[in-house]
A and B are shown apart, each in its own frame.
Chain A
């Protein structure tokens, strides 16, 4: 409830600022104008939101699955760790924005390039957080498993993996927060639909209020993905209590 009041306060200040300075609406539209556009063009915005939302969700799922799989492979195999881990770390030096035009070139203007883009952005926080978690298993638990004659596979799946879930959850939360970035960058570079595409189109035509409305819907999508992810993770890792809850 409180964040909503804060948001309302900020919107009021924004409205007042526009009213006092008399900035034209194609530079900075007042919230009331954006709200009117939202109400007026909701069918268009909904269509584009569904498109971008699908890209985000698929990219999120792909990035999570690939990232988690690679982290587990790295934790289980010293060979993979030695040969491929430095490469994964180095890959983060490549600016994602620079890759976007290539992805569009290879995969086209459709959804695929955006899904891959989002997955690329998400991949690294997931690998690094889960791999880190898998390496930091409590020594005492490993010792206990050792005295119980547990095979390495059981130690990985029944002790190290569940023990790493809180770390994985942190990575997945970051992933949920950055998923929209990947999808929207892909749309900016070249797309035929989506909220990012709508924004670039409308800004070029001076239809700033509609671009702002698209941005607003994009924010809602991002918040929604984060909130759902957070809720699912809390259910998945119930033994982890959070301070300040």
Chain B
């Protein structure tokens, strides 16, 4: 697989607003290349806005590099099978050769997320968790140097979540990934760097580097101690839902 240049992402002195609502001001942030960074914060704090800023999806923003973006909603097209949904990017770009080349990978990805026997099923026949897994497969199938994911494991049961975190760690290796989550343990399992967002407008805390290689054992005492610390910091930040 010919690797593209994998860039770092940087935010410099940014002002981020959502629906006329100030989310962050004079924000500066460096996201290291070829690393997975988790943005951790309470609901409503502006994590999604920051991710959309990085994706160039907010008005007046542009993206830094080709990327794959996974939203909280699965955004599967209801008229396409699971397999065709995973290959959507290749279909839209109209590159038939690239699509044919990507198809085995799409099938393998769907098998890895547990949908190997549902390739030709329409999304409405899939459960919420299955749909999210299909969306994850679609995001990873895009094969982009930068991957932005917004709570990609939110609708999964506990065991599937651990499995897919392992899968994500494996497939995100060598790419610049930003993963938004409100689950401290999830952040600590998969990230090279964890950043805590708090306040309104929010500020980004210093990088926290969990020890060892991801995916980390969720029962590791060191990790659990770190989790307790993160929860303490999040709690100290007050209810994030308030504007």
Contacts and interface: CB of A to CB of B under 8 A. Distances in A.
Given A140-B73, A158-B91, A239-B124, A147 B79 contact: no
A146 B124 contact: no
A150 to B, nearest CB: 4
Contact of A144 (B75, B78, B93, B124): B75
B57 interface: yes
A148 B79 contact: no
A159 B75 contact: no
B75 A141 contact: yes
A149 B154 CA distance: 27
* Chain A interface bracket (under 10, 10 to 19, 20 to 34, 35 or more): 20 to 34
A162 interface: yes
Nearest to A240: B78
B88 to A, nearest CB: 7
A139 to B, nearest CB: 10
Interface string B60-95: 000100111101010101110000000011011110
B77 A159 contact: yes
Contacts of A145: 92
A154 B94 contact: yes
Given A239-B122, A239-B124, A148 B93 contact: yes
Contacts of B94: 151, 154
Nearest to B138: A144
Contact of B88 (A138, A148, A237): A148
B55 interface: yes
Contacts of A43: none
Contacts of B123: 239
A65 interface: no
A37 B89 CA distance: 63
Nearest to A236: B79
B142 interface: yes
A103 interface: no
Interface string A146-188: 1111110011001100110100000000000000000000000
Interface of B: 55, 57, 63, 66-69, 71, 73, 75, 77-79, 88-89, 91-94, 122-124, 142
Given A138-B75, A149-B66, 11 more contacts: A140-B75, A143-B75, A144-B75, A147-B63, A147-B69, A149-B89, A149-B92, A150-B93, A158-B91, A238-B122, A239-B124
Sorted nearest first, the 9 A-B pairs with minimum C-beta distance are A150-B92, A239-B78, A148-B89, A147-B69, A154-B92, A140-B75, A162-B79, A144-B75, A239-B79
Interface of A: 138, 140-141, 143-151, 154-155, 158-159, 162-163, 165, 237-241
16 contacts: A140-B73, A141-B77, A143-B71, A144-B69, A144-B75, A145-B92, A147-B57, A147-B63, A149-B92, A150-B93, A155-B92, A158-B91, A158-B92, A237-B79, A238-B122, A239-B122
